[in-house]
Amino acid sequence: MILQCRGLVRSYGPTQALRGVAMAVDEGEILAVTGPSGCGKSTLLHCLAGITRPDAGEVIYRDQRVDLLSEAGRARLRRTEFGVLFQFGQLVAELTAAENVALPLLLAGTGRREARTAALSWLDRLGVADLAEKRPGEVSGGQQQRVALGRALVTEPRVLYADEPTGALDTLAGEQVLGHMVRLAREQRTTVVLVTHDARVAAYADRELALRDGVADPTGLGLNASAGRHAGSAR
């Protein structure tokens, strides 16, 4: 088990996004976190990736309490162990594709030439080597997401967090991004936490964790717990 959490609670003002979520992922597993909008799936991903800190509960990555790390410590973890892929907006508009992919390495202190070589090889593996000198605004949404995927994977992270990575793409472009993501994750034995509301996207995963109203929903349909207890006693 590479990553797990217990009793996660996170509120935004009066609204509770997470109300005690527990989950665990094995090394190399691809887990889909599904649920309707507002169920807390993005918040869960943010807590797991160390982007936000939970109000209560613990996030454990390889015996390390992510929720107890400082802001800088979590940034370092994100840079070395984790990769993130969002719906859009994670690329720096002013930098070229190659520079964007090289960015995490540069921030970590890798030499410019070495970082560039690594970036170009990742762009090549993702089939967008010819876009290396283009800026994000000059390429299509699907190509942008492939560049973003390259940036998420360039540090060879152990866990990749993807939050609706194809949410802004048409079916075929999304399929390409997901295909590359799953293939590369399997090659590198990278664990993937894939947040989506789309059953077709979730079908790329090995396993599904359904959320509803900030708690795990084992029925996947939001059939509530009280109905479950009722069913148990009726049997």
Partner 1 sequence: MSPLTLVRLALAGSRTDTLRVVLTAASAAVATPLLLLSAAVIAIPGFGQGHRGSDSWAEQYRLQVLVEPGLRPGVVITLVLMTIPVLALAAQCGRLGAPARDRRLAAIRLAGATPGQAVRLAAAETGLASALGSAAGLAGYLILRRALGRPGADGRLLLPTDVLPATWALVAICAGLPLLATAVAMLLLRRVAFTPYGVVRRSRNRPPGPYAGILIVIGAVAMAVLQPGFRWAERIKWSPPGWVLPAILFVGTLCAALGVVLGTGWISYTAGRILRRYGRRPAALLAGSRLMADPWSGSRTFAVLLICVLFGAGAAGARSWFATDFAVREEAGRWQAAQAGQPYYADDNSFYFTTLDLINGAVAFGVALAAAGMLVAVVEGIVSRRRAYSSLVATGVPRGVLARSIVLQAVAPVVPAVLVAAAVGVTLIHAIAGGSVRSANYESSSCTSADCTTEVVVHVPSFVRQIPVPLADLALLGGLAVAAALAVVGVGLLFLRPATAVEELRTT
Partner 2 sequence: MSTSHVLLGLLASGPRHGYDLKRAHDERLPRARPLAFGQVYTTLGRLERDGLVRAAAQERAGGPDRTAYEITQPGRAELVAWLGAVEPPAPYVTSTLLAKVVVALMVADRAHAREYLIAQRAAHTARLRELTARKTDPGAALGAVIAADFAIAHLDADLRWLQTTLDRVGATNGEQ
Which residues sit at the interface with partner 1, rule CB under 8 A? 46, 51-52, 71-72, 75-76, 78-80, 84, 86, 89-95, 100, 103-104, 106-109, 111-112, 151, 155
Q: At its nearest, how many Å lie between partner 2 and the CB of residue 149? A: 15
89/222 with CB nearer partner 1: 89
* Length of the chain in terms of residues written: 235
**What is the token pair recorded at 112?**
């410019």
Alpha-carbon distance of 143 to 136, in angstroms, equals 9
Alpha-carbon distance of 189 to 47, in angstroms, equals 22
Residue whose C-alpha is closest to residue 58's, from 22, 19, 104, 86: 22
Q: At its nearest, how many Å lie between partner 2 and the CB of residue 60? A: 28
Q: By CB under 8 A, is residue 223 in contact with partner 2?
A: yes
102/185 with CB nearer partner 2: 185
Q: By CB under 8 A, is residue 174 in contact with partner 2?
A: no
Alpha-carbon distance of 61 to 151, in angstroms, equals 21
φ, ψ at 4 (rounded to 5°):
-150, 165
Alpha-carbon distance of 133 to 150, in angstroms, equals 14
List the interface residues with partner 2, window 19-58 (CB under 8 A): 36
Contacts with partner 2 by CB under 8 A lie at 36, 179, 182-183, 198-200, 202-205, 208, 212-213, 219-224, 226-228, 230-231, 234-235
